Amino acid sequence: MSLSNALHTLPDGVCIDVDVNAGAKFFQIQGYNQWRKRIEVRVSSVPQKGLANKELMVEFSTLFNVPVQNISICSGSTASKKSIKISDISIEKVLRIVEDRLHDG
């Protein structure tokens, strides 16, 4: 498993490639899809009127301990395959947090 393939360094942060499944019972980082090179994420909101995107941004803000203003959707705002930008964070910290979350379940 090479989670680092889903992470990209930006001048002011990190971009994370995710595959989002909406309608789950709760938010969860489910795993890593090695063929799509994306981190699989589940959200409880439905994908209507931006609700799933908003939940994703709030949950990532909490998970990575950054203000929600530091989270944005770079691409895929209306698709399940998205790229999420997190400003003011290192790629090492993102990798450590995601790996810890996957190992903790």
Please state the domain extents for the chain. Answer: 3-97
**pLDDT at 105 > cutoff 70:** no
pLDDT tens, residue by residue, 18-66: 999 999 999 999 999 999 999 999 999 998 999 999 999 999 999 999 9
* Fold (topology level) of 3-97: Conserved Hypothetical Protein Mth637; Chain: A; (3.30.1200)
β pairing state of 38-42 and 13-21: parallel
CA–CA separation, 62 vs 76, rounded Å? Answer: 21
- CA atoms of 45 and 50, how far apart (whole Å): 9
pLDDT at 91: 96
